[in-house]
Chain A
């Protein structure tokens, strides 16, 4: 099955700086890569996703890049704010699976200090 690795496990940034989280996946057939933000005790919330026919996608301060050859994808958050502090999960899904059957990475705890 699919295996997703995520780095770093923790990330501390100063407010206004950029944050980058990287993930790699094992199954080259995976074609859907969402990113979820989860605050303590709350639900994972989809913040951005990318499909394998696209190399980059941006939504305001958040961008995701995908390198299919290297089987890795990254989340970029610019101009970080304290409310960006949370755990971020990357995930991958195979085309034979429904989009909600996700293999998650282990998560990155992001702390934005004012």
Chain B
């Protein structure tokens, strides 16, 4: 079965650089969520989109932005990177209208800021 696809899987950036993470949800899923997980921490909700509109916002820094496109894929844009942004970034998707409610996570992008 198709799963949530994230790219890239690994990313190394220098401080003050920008990064773009991509997420392709499970087919027919209309909602995408972004989470940040630091080492030894639980996943922290950043932001979500439903039908291409921002549906909720969590602890997302102002330096980060995200959007969902017409094909339902989503991108998380991170600017002025800091060492503390080093973490695993997960995207999850769910289908409110069609295929059930639980959220399935992608394999994550490991971002390292040096």
Q: Count the A residues whose beta carbon is within 8 Å of the partner chain — how many?
A: 22
Assuming the contacts A42-B107, A43-B108, asked whether A100 and B42 have C-beta atoms less than 8 A apart, the reply is: no
Q: How large is the interface on B (under 10, 10 to 19, 20 to 34, 35 or more residues)?
A: 20 to 34
Q: Which residues of B contact A49 (CB under 8 A)?
A: 102
Contact across chains for A102 and B45 when beta carbons are under 8 A apart: yes
For residues 78 through 114 of chain B, which have their beta carbon under 8 Å from a beta carbon of chain A? 88, 90, 92-94, 96, 101-108, 110
The closest CB in chain A to the CB of B48 belongs to A101
Q: Tell me the complex Cα distance, A45–B92, Å.
A: 11
Assuming the contacts A43-B90, A105-B42, asked whether A99 and B107 have C-beta atoms less than 8 A apart, the reply is: no
Q: Which residues of B contact A102 (CB under 8 A)?
A: 43, 45, 103
Contact across chains for A43 and B107 when beta carbons are under 8 A apart: yes
Max chain A C-beta neighbours (<10 A), residue from B31, B43, B55, B107: B43
User: Which residues from chain B sit less than 8 Å from chain A, CB to CB?
Assistant: 31, 33, 41-45, 48, 50, 55-56, 58, 88, 90, 92-94, 96, 101-108, 110
Q: List 27 A-B contacts (CB under 8 A).
A: A34-B102, A41-B110, A42-B107, A43-B105, A43-B107, A44-B105, A46-B102, A49-B102, A89-B42, A89-B43, A97-B56, A98-B48, A98-B55, A98-B94, A99-B94, A99-B101, A99-B102, A99-B103, A100-B33, A100-B93, A100-B94, A100-B103, A101-B45, A102-B45, A104-B43, A105-B42, A107-B42
